Amino acid sequence: MTNKPKQNLKLAPVNPLEPYLGYHLRRVSAASMASFALSLVDLDIRPSDATVILFVQATPGVRQSLIGKHLGIRSANMAPLIAVLEEKGLCQKIPLDGRSSGIELTKSGIKCAAKIKIKISENEERCFAQIDDDVREQLLKTLSSLNIDWVKPQ
């Protein structure tokens, strides 16, 4: 027979990750993205589709490889992602030179981009309403200034 100490179930468990910024950023990001994904269901797209659509809208004719590089999407995942958007009639490939092509939105893609922007605004309000504008601006500035190139494998 072993004598195990009795646990005091009245004490709240201590979260050892509480002091770490990365932990909180991951949790907030996961919750925000889950909320955003749910909001996109009626458009029949995923958050990754939405980011690609908005990137292509901002840079018509952009090469697929550049989209992946800027959005942190692996090249192996870009081809099927673009193929799905093409099948849905949201984007199309256009010739750039003899060997390469770019991506542009179709009319349906442009309409979808407008709906995505509304969904993003609604999600931002839903998830971050308790953050006042000054704090939000400073937080955005700080997070945007971080160099995340260290994430890439050497």
State residue 102 phi and psi, 5-degree precision. -115, 175
Closest CA to 36 of 135, 139, 116, 98: 116
> Does the structure show a pLDDT above 80 at 9?
no
Q: Which comes out higher in pLDDT, residue 8 or 75?
A: 75
pLDDT > 70: what percent of the chain? 88
The pLDDT assigned to 146 comes to 85
State pTM to two decimals: 0.83
Helix axes 21-39, 47-58, angle to 10 degrees: 90
The pLDDT assigned to 7 comes to 62
CB-based contact 116:52 (threshold 8 Å): no
Where do the domains of the chain lie, and which CATH numbers do they carry?
A: 32-127 (1.10.10.10)
The pLDDT assigned to 149 comes to 65
Strands 91-95 and 62-63, how do they pair? unpaired
What is the number of alpha carbons within 13 Å of residue 47 lying toward its C-beta? 15
